[in-house]
Amino acid sequence: MTTNQNAPEILREEILATAQQESEDIVLRARQDAEGILTNAAAEADRLRKERLDQAHTEASRRSELILATVSVETGRLRAARVEALLEIQPLLQVCHGRSAA
């Protein structure tokens, strides 16, 4: 009769052991899933960072080209203004040096 009296206790321990093993399996799968999700998130973050850096480099190049194009135009405009100013004062210089503006 000792066997029958221990049967519920043995059954309870087996059920608890099975539940413990199942819970450990669930936690292990959850950790593996979490690691996979974190790995994918890190890869996606890295991809997005590179994409944004590429976009920033493209925009910086575009702006640089615009600025360089503006420099050339501005240099020509300043040169033309300087030449015009020199042409305007040339008759005054000739008068100051005693030459007439023929």
Q: Are 78 and 70 in contact (CB under 8 A)?
A: no
pLDDT of residue 79: 94
74 HSE (CA, 13 A, CB side): 6
Residue 95 pLDDT exceeds 50? yes
Residue 1 pLDDT exceeds 50? no
Angle, vertex CA 94, rays to CA 89 and CA 98, nearest 5: 145
The overall pTM is greater than 0.75: no
pLDDT digit string (tens) for 37-69? 999 999 999 999 999 999 999 999 999 999 999
Which of residues 72 and 20 earns the better pLDDT score? 20
Residue 102 pLDDT exceeds 60? no
pLDDT digit string (tens) for 17-40? 999 999 999 999 999 999 999 999
Where are the chain's structural domains?
1-73
pLDDT of residue 42: 98
Residue 11 pLDDT exceeds 80? yes
